[in-house]
Amino acid sequence: MEAFSRFYKINKDFRNPYARDRDRIIHCGSFRKLEYKTQVFLNQDGDFFRTRLTHSIEVSQIARSIASHLGLNESLAEAIALAHDLGHTPFGHIGGDTLDKCLIDDGFENGFEHNFQSFRVVSSIEKRYKEFNGLNLTFATLEGILKHSYPYKKSFLPSIIDDQFNLETHPSIEAMVVDRADEIAYISHDIDDGINSGLICFNDLKESELIREILEKVEEEGISEDEDEMFRYRFSSHLINHLVFSLLENSKDRVDNSKVFSAVLDTKIEIPIGFTSELETKIKKLKKILFNKLYQHKKIVIKMYAGKQAIKGLYSGLVEEEKMLPTFYREQLKSRKKHRVIADYIASMSDRHALSFYNEMYGKYN
């Protein structure tokens, strides 16, 4: 106990820097709001379906496992994973696309992009210290949040970002791990949620060679599709394990943990984290099937259209009458452009807050 007291007096914290980043992310308001932000199904569709919060937790778990087996920094991968979706608007990608169009139509060329918004949330929007904005995260975590999703260099990013983070180079290997963990998580849980909702069934997915391979593994356990919940659980488990093991097998010999991977962007450079070309092709085909049969399903499209109209209505209403902004955001109008302040406010909303405010604004009470 005495040794711990001496350590704390010197270091002022008992955590490593990336564990501290992780804790600051978990305790920020933007992270809590992810509980009520859409992944594929709106939050009000049922308690079972994934939200941005449960998705972020699943991504962090997969990223930690991969990082651990590759000898990488688990806490850094976890921090990046937990923060990677903080910038998402309500109603999933359609919400972000709609807000982007609203801004561009009003003359703001840079529009809205959720990865950059995630970076802005932790670096400037969250307010936890009197002296400065942001969560005071390490450079590696900030870079991972900004650059975890390829391509890193985007036209709308201000030059000061490029000066600080060099968007011409690849991020840390941990950030690359998060990008793949994100892919593994959403493929597996979107299938699970889609089947649980009744919008798709396993027969719809059997044209995918990857799905057929995983279904064979479940059937070898003697579990039939009649055992609905158990079958889905075992399927998701086998799918995640298959993708993670394949990623580890294909990446372990290419990961050099003795140096930071900071190679200049070049298509000839072999990225250390990835699947075999054969599995990449199978995943690409599966994503196409999911897009056509789940993401473009009539019931999903109707929900997303409603969300799209809510975003447009909130944006136009707040532009017309800025006094409807909360005090925190109204104060920012003194030093920032109104449209950007409004975009930040809308992006911060949960699905239910956005719908409730939209209904109140236009007199459409439930």
- Which pLDDT tens digit goes with each residue over 266-311? 655 678 899 999 999 999 999 999 999 999 999 999 988 999 999 9
Task: Give per-residue pLDDT as tens, 318-362.
Answer: 999 999 999 999 999 999 999 999 999 999 999 989 999 999 999
Q: For residues 9 and 20, what is the distance between their CA atoms, to the nearest angstrom?
A: 17
CB 196 within 8 A of CB 295: no
pLDDT bracket for residue 110 (50, 70, 90): confident
Q: How far apart are CA 141 and CA 147, in angstroms?
A: 10
Rounded Cα gap, residues 198 and 144, in angstroms: 36
15, 23 Cβ separation under 8 angstroms: yes
pLDDT at 49: 64
pLDDT of 269 = 64
Look at residue 52 and tell me whether its pLDDT is greater than 70.
yes
Between CA 278 and CA 288, with CA 282 as vertex, the angle to 5 degrees is 145
Measure the CA angle with vertex 270, ends 261 and 239; round to 5°: 95
Query: How many whole angstroms separate alpha carbon 103 and alpha carbon 99?
Result: 6
At residue 200's C-alpha, the angle toward residues 196 and 206, to 5°, is: 115
Q: Helices marked H in the chain — which ranges?
A: 2-11, 17-26, 29-33, 52-69, 74-83, 92-105, 114-120, 139-147, 159-165, 173-197, 202-205, 209-220, 228-251, 277-290, 298-320, 327-332, 338-348, 351-361
CATH architecture of 2-361: Orthogonal Bundle (1.10)
Residue 8 pLDDT greater than 50, yes or no: no
Mean pLDDT of 75-91: 96
Average pLDDT over residues 32-40: 84
Q: pTM for the full model?
A: 0.90
- Phi then psi for residue 169, to 5 deg, are -115, 160
Interatomic CA distance for residues 227 and 113, integer angstroms: 41
Q: Helix 173-197 and helix 277-290: axis angle, to 10°?
A: 40
Residue 264 bridge partners (DSSP): 169
Report d(CA 332, CA 328) in Å as an integer. 7
Nearest-angstrom CA–CA distance, 348 and 336? 17
How far, in Å, CA of 241 to CA of 233, rounded?
12
* Model confidence at 51: pLDDT above 90: no
Nearest to 119 by CA among 84, 153, 68: 84
Task: Spell out the residues 6+ positions from residue 16 whose beta carbon is closer than 8 angstroms to its own.
Answer: 75
In sign, the C-alpha dihedral spanning 115, 117, 121, 124 is positive
Mean pLDDT, the chain, whole residue set:
88
Angle at 150 between CA 149 and CA 156, to 5 degrees: 90
